[in-house]
Amino acid sequence: MAALLITNLGNTPLLGRGKVRDLYAVDGALLLVATDRISAFDHVLGSGIPDKGKILTQISLFWFDLLKNLVPNHVITANVEEYPQALRPYNDQLDGRSMLVKRAEMFPVECVARGYLAGSGWKEYQASRTVCGIELPPDLKDGSRLPEPIFTPATKSQDGAHDENISFAAVGKLVGADEAAELRRLTLAIYRRAAAHAESCGLILADTKFEFGKTGEGVILADEVLTPDSSRFWDGKTWKPGGAQPSFDKQFVRDYLEEIGWNKQAPAPDLPEQVVERTRAKYLEAFRRLTGREMDK
């Protein structure tokens, strides 16, 4: 089973390649194609994870549909039979892993919601007992549930560097007070609904990040949403505050890279088959548990 690491859509204008997605311009819209590339420590690795792009796309489409009454989204269609005729020769690269989406003016912030203390939030809490300027109770542990979900925005890195946590006031300076308030409202509303669904599947949604854009119709949810690449999902049965929790993402990849002592500089190494297979299985498990169905072949 081969991983799709790069797309080639002939004369279709390529706007850019991210760590995972290739972005094309198509008849006034955008075409997002999720490849099987995988990144760790801000580097794209030499190996991909077969079907990862399809899994991420199908999870996003599940959530876009579940949340559509809460917030509009950028999806026009994900059915390749409804794409422009010029894309038909490339159906094998697009089917199941792409979305034709609306163009939008994207907000320059990552909209992060946290219901649990982990990652950069835990590091900041240890230093200052705050996250993005929000004061939290004393004596919380790594993995603790917060009293209520919080909005902890971050800068949107343009060069592959780490995003930096910022305060709500800083978001207001970037986008205006009214827009900042709306982004916070939407972020927390989506988080609460998604966390409730995850809980019904035996999963904890510890934290997640969203990207929003604006069209003539108002604010829309864009990019990917609530996948293991943008969200921290934990198994509710094994959750135990007091240390890092096993998550449904690329933890096997990170652990392997730490074990081999990679210096986190380019070029990034390839992954052994066992790490690839275990990572793919973890993404598939997240898909099955969240959606209640098997992946389309």
Q: Verify cis geometry, omega within 30 degrees of 0, for the bond prior to 147.
A: no
Count Cβ atoms within 10 A of the Cβ of residue 196 and give its class: 0-12 exposed, 13-18 middle, 19 or more buried: exposed
- pTM: predicted TM-score of the whole model, two decimal places: 0.94
Give me the sign of the Cα torsion angle 280, 283, 59, 100: negative
Alpha helices in the chain (DSSP H): 52-67, 91-94, 119-128, 168-175, 177-200, 251-259, 273-291
| Angle formed by the axes of helices 273-291 and 52-67, nearest 10° | 20
Sole residue written with tokens 């690329």: 250
Separation of alpha carbons 111 and 151, rounded Å = 7
**pLDDT tens digits along 167-210:** 999 999 999 999 999 999 999 999 999 999 999 999 999 999 99
Q: For the chain, what percentages of helix, strand and coil (3-state, to nearest 5) are there?
A: 35, 30, 40
Mean pLDDT of the chain: 94
Phi, psi of 40 (to 5 degrees): -155, 140
Structure confidence at residue 251 (pLDDT):
84
CB atoms under 10 Å from CB of 129, counted, come to 14
CB atoms under 10 Å from CB of 223, counted, come to 22
Separation of alpha carbons 118 and 241, rounded Å = 10
Structure confidence at residue 161 (pLDDT):
56
User: Which stretches in the chain have pLDDT values below 70?
Assistant: 157-162, 297
Structure confidence at residue 62 (pLDDT):
98
**pLDDT tens digits along 38-68:** 999 889 999 999 999 999 999 999 999 999 9
Query: Domains in the chain, start-ordered, CATH in brackets?
Result: 1-103 (3.30.200.20), 105-235 (3.30.470.20)
Sole residue written with tokens 């609530």: 226
